[in-house]
Structure 1
Amino acid sequence: MATVDDCRKALHDLAARLEANAEARGKLDLDRTLACRLTDLGAAFHGRITEGRLVDITDGDDPKAKIALVTTSDELLALVAGKLDITRMLTSIRANPFDLLKLRKLL
Structure 2
Amino acid sequence: MATIEECRAALDQLSRNMAQAEGEVRAAAALDRSLSCRITDLDVTFVGRLHGGAITDVVALPGAPRDKAQIRLTMSGDDLVALVGGELSFAKAWGSGRVRVHAPLRDLLHLRTLL
Once residues 31 and 76 of structure 2 are traced to their aligned partners in structure 1, the CA distance between those partners, rounded to angstroms, is 25
Alignment TM-score, normalising by the size of structure 1: 0.85
> What CA deviation, in whole Å up to 9, does each residue of 1:28-87 have, x standing for no partner?
252211100011010110111124322221212352201111110011111111222222
For structure 1, which segment, 59-68 or 35-44, has the greater mean C-alpha deviation from structure 2 after superposition? 59-68
Q: Which residue identity does 1:9 align to in structure 2?
A: A
Number of aligned positions between the proteins: 106
Instruction: Tell me the C-alpha RMSD between the 2 structures.
Output: 1.8
Structure 1 unaligned blocks of 5 or more: none
Q: Which residue of 1 aligns with 2:75?
A: 71
Whether the 8 Å CA contact 1:7–1:76 is kept in 2: the answer is: yes
- What one-letter code is carried by the residue in structure 2 that aligns with 1:79? L
Cα distance in structure 2, aligned partners of 1:64 and 1:98: 17
1:34 corresponds to which residue?
Answer: 35
Q: Helix, strand or coil: the match of 1:48?
A: strand
Residue type matched to 1:99 in 2?
D
User: Is 1:96 the counterpart of 2:104 in the alignment?
Assistant: yes
Aligned residue identity for 2:59: T
Q: What's 1:6 paired with?
A: 6
For residue 20 of structure 2, what is the amino acid of its counterpart?
A
Q: Is the 8 A contact 1:30 1:52 kept in 2?
A: yes
Q: Letter of the aligned partner of 2:105 in structure 1?
A: P
Structure 2 equivalent of residue 105 of structure 1: 113
Query: 1:71 & 1:63 partners in 2: Cα distance?
Result: 18
> Structure 2 CA distance, aligned partners of 1:74 and 1:16?
19
